[in-house]
Amino acid sequence: MRAAVVAACAAVAAVTYVSIRWVNATVPDPYMDEPFHAGQTVTYLRGRWTEWDPKITTLPGLYVASVIMCRAMPWIDCEQVTSLRMLNVFWVTALFLCLYHLLSLLNTTSSRAVLKALEIMTHPVLAFHSLLFYTDVPSLTMVLLTWIAVRHDRMVAGGIAGLAAVCFRQTNIIWVAWAALQVIVATYHAQASQAAKKWLLPHFILWALRNVQQLFKVLFPIIAVGIVFAAFVVANGSIVVGDRTNHVAVVHLPQLLYFCAFACVFMWRLPRHLPNLPLIAALAPLAILAVHYKTYAHPFILSDNRHYTFYAWKNFFQRYSWFRYAVIPVYLLAVDMIVRIIGTSRPFLWQAFYWICTAACLRKLSSQFARYPGGSLLIARFILWCCAYSCCGHLPGQTDLPLGSCAGQSAILSRPETSHSVVNWSFKIVFVIGSLTR
């Protein structure tokens, strides 16, 4: 199976290289946010480490890492954005390896882990950012390295990777905290008796308080990242560096609804059970209130026509006042699907922290789900869900075909419950065709 992994890595690297060559030939100049990222990297390459572009809102992890990589390859002219894009060949391959390793740790068979990692890599938003000089792919790679290190009880390595992840994207601190929470929850479930678990949340809190010294000692490298980050926020006065005018924190509750719908599009399963009507009925009033009072449109959504969300907002949400309410049932069905998936495979504490971290990533963004600055945060969440799903998230009687191969197509014809691949790849094809014809 090791040969298959090597072959998959080579294929990922080759496809990424060819794709970036095509992008470079088609769009040789910096695109969207690349003028800021490439410009700051060139500034560092020229040794001007004290200069900073005030339009940039993320920490300089991408630029420092790119300078190190460029110094290691002096034959590359890294002052050209076309060369900087090529650095993604390394990052994309590293991301694939991280996905494969993490999926393997989650009791996924080796062959299935390869296919599932390849499937995740083809997610349209992730694939798009893999071809540009953006923070998304390096950021996700460091997040996954943090999780992998923690899973192997390499807390120092996890702390270093977590600090690097935060330097690429500040909000990655949430997923560094997630890694620590998983250690705490796993330790609790290993130590607590079945009788104690009947009073799960109160007993968990008491247990954590009694064992706080031991937990602090074990998780100190991860906690240290949180302490450093908190000191940065206090000293900086905000989580954002540079331009804060277009990155104002708001309580954007519908983001969680957008995320659930968006995630379910690419993780669709043919329903085998009726929706949980009591849950949907309970959430419906809250969803209506959130949509009515807490819907925000980022200025870039309204002014930048290079994103699908621009057209979705302009042609539907903004044009028809009733549309945002009409899609609430879709949101609620998506929430029900996710609750059902993780509810059948994960303990209550895992589910609680899952929703808390997801909401923390999304609730303060005034942009829409797949739009900057929330894109990589969404994909980090989405990848986490994919990993959990691959581990033990299938509902009874359901299967998953990671890739639409010929054998897979034959299986789909004989087993309709495997429609996930058909829907998944259909949406991916639509995204690709739309991108090429715009």
pLDDT digits (tens, 9 = 90+) for 333-355: 888 887 877 776 677 777 788 88
Mean per-residue pLDDT for 235-260? 75
Structure tokens at 347: 């303990």
400 — pLDDT class (breaks 50, 70, 90): very low
Task: Report how far residue 332's alpha carbon sits from residue 320's, in angstroms, rounded to the nearest whole number.
Answer: 20
Residue 67 confidence (pLDDT): 94
Share of the chain above pLDDT 70, in %: 73
The pLDDT mean for the chain works out to 77
State the Cα–Cα distance between residues 425 and 428, nearest whole angstrom. Answer: 5
Handedness of CA 348, 355, 335, 268 (dihedral sign): negative
Q: Which residue has the higher pLDDT, 321 or 106?
A: 321
Segment 44-97, tens digit of pLDDT: 999 999 999 888 888 999 999 999 999 998 888 888 999 999 999 999 999 999
pLDDT bucket at 175, cuts 50 / 70 / 90: confident
pLDDT band at residue 277 under the 50/70/90 scheme:
confident
Contact assessment for residue 347 and residue 185, using Cβ atoms and an 8 Å cutoff: yes
Above 70 in pLDDT, residue 421?
no
In single-letter form, the type of residue at position 69 comes to M
Exposed/middle/buried for 211, CB within 10 Å: 0-12, 13-18, 19+? middle
Q: Does residue 10 or residue 359 have the better pLDDT?
A: 10
- The whole-number average pLDDT for the span 261-276 is 69
